[in-house]
Amino acid sequence: MAVFEDWLNQLNETMKKKRRIILFVDNATSHVVSKKLSDVHVKFLPPHLTSELQPLDQGIIQAMKANYRKSMLHSLLAAVGKFITASEFAKSVTVFDAIRWISSTWNNVREETIFGCFRRAGFA
């Protein structure tokens, strides 16, 4: 629980220099807000509706997964001559490789996808 609150306090400090924001979070028990923040207003999504209201669940996660698999496949194809089996390739993948793929994946999610998912979740 302290991890979320620490992160929230750091976010609030960052926003003091820039702007005031609303942060929508699900109602997980780990999302505890014990004090009012000056520049971050936390709004909790209603229980049992989070998958319908969260923009990530409206297609952003799906786009990320598709792009991630594409990045992984490109790496596999680039390494075709180095490994005899896909298992050997899988064993050679490092955490750094996965982080690079995630970064590349996020950069390839189109703005239109993100806007559309927010719209479908009711953020007009």
More confident position, 16 or 47: 16
Residues 61 and 43 in one domain: no
Statement to judge: residues 32 and 69 lie in one domain: no
| Owning domain of residue 27 | 2-49
Considering the domain architecture, whether residues 42 and 65 belong to the same structural domain is answered as no
Same domain (yes/no): 66, 111 = yes
Q: Where are the beta strands (DSSP E) in 1-124?
A: 21-25, 40-44
Structure confidence at residue 99 (pLDDT): 93
More confident residue, 57 or 42: 42
Contacts 24+ apart (CB under 8 A), 112-117: 113/59, 113/60, 113/63, 114/55, 114/60, 116/58, 116/59, 117/55, 117/56, 117/58, 117/59, 117/60
pLDDT in tens, 64-103: 899 899 888 888 888 888 888 888 888 888 999 999 989 9
41 & 87 share domain: no
| pTM as predicted | 0.60
- Alpha carbon distance 92, 14 (integer Å): 38
- Name the domain count of the chain: 2
Residues 70 and 91 in one domain: yes
Whether 38 and 75 map to the same domain: the answer is no
Q: Does the pLDDT at position 1 exceed 60?
A: no
Same domain, 45 and 77: no
